[in-house]
Structure 1
Amino acid sequence: MALYESEHTKFMREWMANHPQEKKEQQAGRALWWDKPQDTDARARNSEASVPSKPYYYQTD
């Protein structure tokens, strides 16, 4: 297996090593957009309420 590391990855590793405060900002951004509590009941209701689409969308039968 080759041990290739892209220029971007090298840059990001160096940047994070030189700017340790960015880790907290990165975690805050992730929590803002991605890390949300999941409501399993609402997800189940939404999946049960979905109507399957027709194979041909414009068919009027």
Structure 2
Amino acid sequence: MARYGKRAHKSVERAMHKRKKGTLKSEKSKKPVKSRKQAIAIGLSQARRKGAKVPKKKAA
């Protein structure tokens, strides 16, 4: 069974594309995102807010 839905995949894909262009900004600090992992996290976070099929965040 798939962990992530299609909408989540699209959201991450969009975030990665924006990162490569240099237009992806952090939600809080509004600074440009350079890290690949951070771009994925932002994409998944946006997908969660839209109600896509994404596993819950692990507690730190």
Q: What's the TM-score once normalised by structure 1's chain length?
A: 0.32
Could you say which structure has the higher helix fraction? 1
Structure number with higher relative contact order (C-alpha < 8 Å, ≥ 6 residues apart): 2
Larger Rg over CA atoms: 1
